[in-house]
Structure 1
Amino acid sequence: MDVPRPFLLLLCALHLTLSGVLSKHIDHRNLFTQRVCCKRQSHFVYIGQDISGSPVSVDVGMCRSHCGGASSRPSHEAGQQEYSKHSSMLEFLRSKKMRTRGSAAPESSEPQNQLPSCGVNQLCEPTGMRVDRVLLFEGPREVEVIEECHCEIKLTQCIRVPALRTYYSETPYETVIDVGGCSNSKGSPEGFSCVPTKFDSALVETPNKADLIPTVVTCELKESCYRVPYVEYYYEIIHHADGVKEERLKEIDVGRCLGGCTTGNRCLLRSPSDPEICHLWSEKQSRSCVPQGYESHSFLNQHGQIRTVLSITSCLCQS
């Protein structure tokens, strides 16, 4: 049976229209699309001068969580050249701020029709990071560089989460270690944060010596200034009633104070395109997390003398 040509054209047009409408509703829910849109983008940071006196900028990367739209940001090469023209990060930011004031349009803006690549209960977070060692004029410095990003579920509890770091990348000593971290839990009481409270270490072989990499074992909700366990061992002499002298190993949790005591917003210059990015931070205030309460532990040492060791029981912020 022959179908009239105008009717076929009408069916084709209807098919194209429906396909376009459906793609708008399905595309941002597609898992592959989410994975592609939550991706690493270039982000150069000035870290100092090398041994020749030349400025050093490192592409530490950043995770972007929006899809669609062509970005008006400069390319990787252009960004690197722009940093290298200045002797310091402060000089670069000052010149950048002056250019922003002089231009009528902002540096860049996100398209209004962009959709978040991750779900409502997810964040675009780094999934692969490496630790680069850069030799600067002041000495060697470790820089964490984002390699990959993915959609991570927002956690409502304070727990320890995996954090893989690659050390000595592209060398015979390349090692991947789960250094661990604490979840960015939401709904925490005001003034409390999910912070590490117990630590361990991992051994990494290097050409010169073995490095100990600190790792996080346990996380808890704590105030900004908090106490963590820190165990020390001593030899203790015990004299029994029958005249027998015994040497024991005495364990004392002397504790440590961790956390920051800065108040207010320390960000001096934020990115015009993304207010969550801070380009320049002020110096830390002169408040420190110090011991508040303590207790004493007395025992007889190997030389027959009374030794007293103080242990921290609580911490507070002090100017």
Structure 2
Amino acid sequence: MDIHGSSLLYLTVLYLTLAEVWSKHVEQRNLFALRACCRRQSHFVYIGQDISGSPVRMDVGMCRSHCGGASRTSNYGPQQEYLKYSSMLEFLRSKKMGARTASTESAEPSENTPSCGESHVCEPTGMRVERVLLFEGPREVEVVQECHCETKIAQCLRTPALRTYFFETPYETVVDVGGCSKSKGSPDGFSCVPTKFDSALVETPNKVNIIQTVVACDLKESCYRVPSVEYYYEIVDQTDGIKEEKLKEIDVGRCLGGCTAGNRCLLRSPSDPQMCRLWAERPQTSCAPQSYESHTFLNEHGQILTVLSITSCHCQNKM
């Protein structure tokens, strides 16, 4: 083998070795990011007025990436340096020894790489539901407890969503109310939305609360129909002339989802097309029944009863 062949072989081996070392380093840094970079951050919102008339603000929390390329700003201070190390132990050790030069030995992450990684997103691990007594009555507020890096899901699936009710009381209960994945591969105009529901019972000091839970999800347009079953008693005439009472099940349906009103900008700035000078009043729209069918039967009192069931929904302007 000549000298050029030896040099090429040496460079190939060196490249593969460095690639493997870099891959392991990135993997360790991503594992560290999964634990350290996705954290709960305080987020105060106005809830309303309490029974004395004083304003009520609550820290409902939010999940935000605290380190990593895109979200790294001067506002975060020392947290910018986290991803320069493979672990928190290494980070603290470098701080203690004053070895800041160690940060230059490991390559910087890409400016467009989120701290959770391309295949993860920073989301809550669980929520608690707090009951607040306001002037207009009690209100339930969802509060973020903790956050973590959750794997992105490309398909439309039902995902777990834990809610803690009556937190730190003898009636504390955790319920998986469920949710739908934020599918990125869905066609335009479609979203991953709940299509089948169930209920869970939560014991309270005064009574039993019924909590609606999500059972299944599907890709639907913004305004869509979901099943909703109602039961009735029906009187049926038998061949021998005897009247029999039966239970009749009717899927009356209901309309869910929101309706977009389109672009409301009537006049844009000639110098800056992104700036709108004149806005049109937003028409009020709602997701309402579009078509229906009727079910007629004889009820238990011998009266003819007609029940309408929704077959499709659409967006319509409110009168």
From 115, 127, 130, the equivalent of 1:129 is: 127
1:13-162 paired onto structure 2 within 5 Å: 26=26, 29-67=29-67, 72=75, 116-162=114-160
* Alpha-carbon distance change, 194 to 284 in structure 1, aligned in 2, over 3 angstroms: farther
Contact 2:43–2:59 under 8 Å retained in 1: yes
The one-letter code of the counterpart of 1:221 is: L
Checking the alignment, whether the CA contact within 8 Å between 1:262 and 1:285 is kept in structure 2 is no
RMSD: 2.9
Q: 1:230·1:256 contact (CA, 8 Å) conserved in 2?
A: yes
What SS does the aligned partner of 1:190 have? coil
Q: Please state how far the C-alpha of 1:200 moved relative to its aligned partner.
A: 0.9
Residues 132 and 25 (structure 1), Cα distance of their counterparts in 2 relative to 1, 3 Å cut: same
Q: What runs of 5+ residues in structure 1 fail to find an aligned partner? A: 1-20, 74-111, 267-282
> Equivalent of 1:170, from 159, 168, 171?
168
**3-state SS of the aligned residue for 2:36?**
helix
CA contact (8 A) 2:33 2:116 kept: no
1:260 corresponds to which letter in structure 2?
A: G
Distance apart, 1:233 and its partner CA: 0.8
Work out which of the residue numbers 213, 218, 222 in structure 2 matches 1:220.
218
Matched, 1:286 2:289: no
Q: 2: distance between equivalents of 1:132 and 1:284?
A: 33
What's the secondary structure of 2:32's corresponding residue? helix
Shift of 1:289: 0.9
Residue 274 of structure 1: aligned partner: none
The 5 Å alignment of 1:301-312 reads 301-312=299-310
Greater mean deviation of Cα atoms: 112-121 or 242-251: 112-121
Q: Distance in 2 between matches of 1:48 and 1:246?
A: 55
Q: TM-score, normalised by structure 2?
A: 0.71
Q: How far apart are residue 27 of structure 1 and its match?
A: 8.1
- SS of the residue corresponding to residue 173 of structure 1 reads coil
Match of 1:201 among 199, 202, 205: 199
Measure, in 2, the Cα distance between the counterparts of 1:121 and 1:27: 13
| 1:113 CA drift (Å) | 6.1
What TM-score do the two structures reach when normalised by structure 1? 0.71
**Secondary structure, aligned partner of 1:72:** helix
Q: Which secondary structure does the structure 1 equivalent of 2:34 belong to?
A: helix
State the aligned residue count.
248
Distance 1:59 1:28, change over 3 A: farther
